[in-house]
Chains A and B, each alone.
Chain A
Amino acid sequence: DTGVSQDPRHKITKRGQNVTFRCDPISEHNRLYWYRQTLGQGPEFLTYFQNEAQLEKSRLLSDRFSAERPKGSFSTLEIQRTEQGDSAMYLCASSLAETSVDTQYFGPGTRLTVL
């Protein structure tokens, strides 16, 4: 399968702990997005990379959140000092910049539960 993969699929942590999620995009895709989805809501944009450059961050992304894409391939999203309000599904998507419409392909998500 050559789709977008995310690891881990589920993460349970205690409040105050740090967590890190990984996303592996489709191999030739140069754009990578992170979204957050809470129960009963649609995904909300968090941040966007083109190659290794982080070009936009949502106001939803507080100082406790950091994302990297060091070699323009996989990406990591770290949450420091987790809070119960961080509990959500974190989605990664990738796309190819050369297409006329930026069609994004989503991974299965990482479900975070903060106790």
Chain B
Amino acid sequence: EIQMTQSPSTLSASVGDRVTITCRASQSIISWLAWYQQKPGKAPNLLIYKASSLESGVPSRFSGSGAGTEFTLTISSLQPDDSATYYCQQYKSYSSFGQGTKLEIK
């Protein structure tokens, strides 16, 4: 099974900040990576697929990059509504998720 490791586990930032979350895979997943946002009591919401493709309807301040084993999710200008937990998911070999990064607004 491919292990996915996210860092940091928690993150506190201010409105307007540029925020970066990292996801590392235990082996190459090429670009088969997705990012999700989850708010309390709700299902996850797809933000990015295939490492860097923005899902329809997702604000353009979200972007994804990387390939192989290291990937990043960037929020270019943090908004209050971005307070949530973010997960990466690999789908190169079956599927597995990272443990999540909880993003708080200062």
Q: Do A and B bind?
A: no
Residues in A lying within 8 Å of B, measured CB to CB: none
Residues in B lying within 8 Å of A, measured CB to CB: none
